[in-house]
Amino acid sequence: MSREQLTKIILPEDKTPRFWYNVQADMPNLPEPGLNPQTKQPLAPADLEPIFARELIAQEVSTERFIEIPAEVQELYRQFRPSPLFRARQLEKALDTPCRIYYKYEGSSPVGSHKLNSALPQVFFNKVQGIKRLTTETGAGQWGTALSLACKQFGLEAMIYMVKISFTQKPYRRSIMELYGGKCVASPSTLTESGRSELAKDPNTPGSLAMAISEAIEDALQREDTNYSLGSVLNHVCIHQSIIGQEARLQLEMVDDYPDIVIGCCGGGSNFAGIAFPFVPDKLAGRNIRLIGVEPAACPTLTKGVFAYDFSDTSGLTPIMKMYTLGHNFTPSGIHAGGLRFHGESPLVSQLYHDGLLEAVAVKQNATFAAAMIFAQTESIVPAPESAHAIRTAIDEALQAKEEGVSKTILFNLSGHGHLDLYSYDRYLSGEMEDIEFSEEDLQESLKSLPQI
């Protein structure tokens, strides 16, 4: 079918990529090495072995361009991959824009988001190494849900530390994790030293991803049979998510198109990396393509943070990484896009942004939900609040192009559906949503917590 007829573009299963793409093979500058949190010396693989599977550590520093997806993972991918690419015809009509807008829809996975793309291989590589149990943190609950399911599928236990404010506000996120067999507690919890220490400081803390990471790592360090798993930020997660952009690229080829602009929402960076990294080689080769990460104005890591060595958690248990950061003591305000409430940023995204290969914008909460409403009422899918950040910028770019009288091809990642986030829409519809201002003072205070290297 021609480009003008197709709405939903389905990649034939036999064209599905069998390899992940690793941007480390093509970067002009690799990220600075991670540092051991105690010695502050460059990390050796052995430093990571107490908490990560060896194959994942190898991927972390690999410069192989393509990494084969294990057959066991491919088999499970097949249930929800390739994911559909949609031409947003109704949205285009509503905006009256000359642009062609496409979205890659990752909400069609059984957990409703892109997170399963990395949960499955992470659990698999741990399983082959004999690990019986994985710990992790979760913010909005998307990652915890994906890890619970992946653990159930490979027969491992999942232990999830969920940021307290989300645990309280979103009880059904916990239900779905438990339904998949995972165990989920509010973080900070009394189960770990890190948690108890945070609770002693402030018994009413809403928690943060950084605190929950501390708890999950501490738990994993206690038990031989237990490793830790992270749903974003790290290089191996970006590698796994590359399946998104690789598929999208092939799907656009099917309709003889290619993007001028590629957009993803950006918290830890994994879904933005997933859609954008497979296009980096083209940009390096001189192709005119813009790759834009969209973050919440309340947690503007790339647009307002500093490029510095920092921890990913509050207790200083994680490796120290060179990344854009608001400081690991920064507690992002309680915006509805819980998955984007993270002070740091993927080192790969950070380096590429620093080198001018990626762009970033920050958008406010009400403008984001306004975009989500336009999208839902035209394209029918209710987007997750996180994904709505990408929609906001896609709409802004399409309107900008219209004003300039040019037609552009815009591709964005619709990383998940919002059927578990209707509480947030309720707030928006009843006019009770606030645009929380970002505080420069808080930032300056938090940046004092950066480790001295």
In degrees, rounded to 5, the angle at the alpha carbon of residue 186 between the alpha carbons of residues 185 and 190 is 85
The 192-231 contact track toward its own copies, x by CB under 8 A, reads ----------------------------------------
Closer of 44 and 429 to its own copies (Cβ) = 429
Shortest Å, Cβ 16 to its own copies: 11
By CB atoms closer than 10 A (0-12, 13-18, 19+), residue 2 is exposed
Shortest Å, Cβ 168 to its own copies: 14
Site for its own copies contains 155 (CB under 8 A) = no
Site for its own copies contains 75 (CB under 8 A) = yes
Site for its own copies contains 435 (CB under 8 A) = no
Query: Which residue stretch of 110-118, 236-244, 281-289, 434-442 sits at the interface with its own copies (rule: CB under 8 A)?
Result: 110-118
Site for its own copies contains 71 (CB under 8 A) = no
Among 112, 269, 300, 344, binds its own copies (CB under 8 A): 112
Interaxial angle between packed helices 116-128 and 54-61, expressed in degrees from 0 to 180 and rounded to the nearest 10: 120
Site for its own copies contains 111 (CB under 8 A) = yes
Among 49, 355, 426, 434, binds its own copies (CB under 8 A): 426
Closer of 50 and 155 to its own copies (Cβ) = 155
Closer of 213 and 382 to its own copies (Cβ) = 382
Shortest Å, Cβ 70 to its own copies: 16
Q: Per CB under 8 A, which of residues 131..150 are in contact with its own copies?
A: 149
Site for its own copies contains 178 (CB under 8 A) = yes
The total number of residues shown for the chain amounts to 453
Three-class secondary structure assignment of the chain: CCCCCCCEECCCHHHCCCEEECHHHCCCCCCCCCECCCCCCECCHHHHCCCCCHHHHHHHHCCCCEEECCHHHHHHHCCCCCCCEEECHHHHHHHCCCCEEEEEEHHHCCCCECCHHHHHHHHHHHHHCCCCEEEEEECCCHHHHHHHHHHHHHCCEEEEEEEHHHHHHCHHHHHHHHHCCCEEEEECCCCCHHHHHHHHHCCCCCCCHHHHHHHHHHHHHHCCCEEECCCCCCHHHHHHHHHHHHHHHHHHHHCCCCCCEEEEECCCCHHHHHHHHHHHHHHHCCCCCEEEEEEECCCCHHHHCEEEEECCCCCCCCCEEEEEECCCCCCCCCCCCHHHCCCCCCHHHHHHHHCCCCEEEEECHHHHHHHHHHHHHHHCCCECHHHHHHHHHHHHHHHHHHHHCCCCEEEEEECEECCCCHHHHHHHHCCCCCCCCCCHHHHHHHHCCCCCC
Among 43, 134, 140, 176, binds its own copies (CB under 8 A): 176
Closer of 143 and 425 to its own copies (Cβ) = 425
Contact indicator for 249, 278 with CB cutoff of 8 Å = yes
Query: Which residue stretch of 3-11, 17-25, 52-60, 260-268 sits at the interface with its own copies (rule: CB under 8 A)?
Result: 3-11
Site for its own copies contains 179 (CB under 8 A) = yes
Query: Which residue stretch of 174-182, 239-247, 255-263, 314-322 sits at the interface with its own copies (rule: CB under 8 A)?
Result: 174-182
Please state whether 155 falls in left (phi above 0), alpha (psi between -120 and 50) or beta: left
Site for its own copies contains 172 (CB under 8 A) = yes
Among 41, 79, 366, 439, binds its own copies (CB under 8 A): 79
Site for its own copies contains 25 (CB under 8 A) = no
Query: Which residue stretch of 96-104, 265-273, 283-291, 370-378 sits at the interface with its own copies (rule: CB under 8 A)?
Result: 370-378
Shortest Å, Cβ 8 to its own copies: 6
Site for its own copies contains 377 (CB under 8 A) = yes
Shortest Å, Cβ 125 to its own copies: 19
Among 3, 18, 168, 423, binds its own copies (CB under 8 A): 423
Q: Hey, what's the torsion of the CAs at 91, 94, 99, 103, to 10 degrees?
A: -10
Among 36, 62, 108, 333, binds its own copies (CB under 8 A): 108
Among 7, 39, 41, 63, binds its own copies (CB under 8 A): 7
CA distance 77 to 74: 5
Site for its own copies contains 90 (CB under 8 A) = yes
Closer of 176 and 410 to its own copies (Cβ) = 176
Contacting residues toward its own copies, per CB under 8 A: 1, 6-8, 10, 13-14, 75, 78-80, 86, 90, 108, 110-112, 149, 152-153, 171-172, 175-176, 178-181, 373, 376-377, 379-382, 417, 419-420, 422-423, 425-426, 429
